[in-house]
Amino acid sequence: MAKEFNRRTTASNLLPYQEENIDHLRHNHGIVIANSDKGLGPCAIKLEKYIQDALVHLMDEKTYVIL
């Protein structure tokens, strides 16, 4: 069965600047790729901002209770 699923090398359908941008995002660990609201697709956000935004929601005592 493994013979049926060998990886093949194909030509990229991305432009060179698009590949550079993707490589930059892939190797930059200070950026998080997250889903945006209302199905608008992915977005890039700085890790520090992502953590701050998450903590705002998690520290809301009306919504969450520490167990």
Q: Distance (Å, rounded) from C-alpha 33 to C-alpha 25?
A: 8
Q: What is the pTM of this model?
A: 0.63
Q: Distance (Å, rounded) from C-alpha 52 to C-alpha 26?
A: 22
Within-domain flag for 66? no
Number of domains, the chain = 1
Q: pLDDT tens digits for 5-35?
A: 887 788 999 999 999 999 999 999 999 998 8
Within-domain flag for 64? no
> Has residue 3 got a pLDDT over 80?
no
Within-domain flag for 12? yes
Q: Distance (Å, rounded) from C-alpha 12 to C-alpha 9?
A: 9
Range of the domain at 21: 8-58
Backbone angles phi, psi at 35, to 5 degrees: -80, 135
Contacts of 67 (CB under 8 A, 6+ apart): none
Strand partners, 35: 42
Q: pLDDT tens digits for 32-56?
A: 998 888 888 888 999 999 999 999 9
